[in-house]
Amino acid sequence: MAKVLIIGGHGRVALQLGRILRERGDQVDSVIRNPDQSVEVEKTGARPIVADVETMDVPALAELIAGHDAIVWSAGAGGGDPARTRAVDHDAAVRSMDAAAQAGVGRYVMVSYFGSRVDHRVPADSAFRHYADAKADADEHLRASGLDYTILGPSTLTDGPGTGRIDVTGEESSDVDRADVAEAVAAALVEPATVGRTIRFNRGETPIAEALR
């Protein structure tokens, strides 16, 4: 049994992930900012922890992270305001990585997106540019952090029931069900072959655990 901390615990991927992890016997703490979301988190079997990672410094985050076996970053500002996008998708994420190192928690799984890379080529006048920059820079920090990281880059998210199968070989982004993203995170947490890798994926025909190996 692992003790997993999900940051961004009320997201649609995170809620499904919490349920999957609890069903396989893991202990799950899910960090949420809004206490009104506690009931939905509890329904998955996870324990809600109300904390605002956007405002917490590294020592406070390290205290939150300490005692866990792994961290999953599934938080995001949700687009819109560029300053808040940077504050959450980059600054808070980076502080959580530094805090993980400080707390001695090495395993860190980042839920990113398919196109996250420094040379993303998103035009400067695009509303998506701020998010693309924030995610790319956060992912780069994680790669250099010394943590046992996995960066998962799903393509466009859809709300289907999931197929249990993905494709990690595609060069172009397509789509994938959130249910399968949650399954991929759960599988990555227990698959040593995912450590130190960035894995981009679409829906596909290969069983998730096999694809990640």
Q: Which residues are catalytic, by number?
A: 131
Give the whole-angstrom CA distance, residue 122 versus residue 132. 7
Give me the amino acid identity at 209. A
Alpha-carbon torsion, ordered 125, 126, 132, 134, to 10 deg = 50
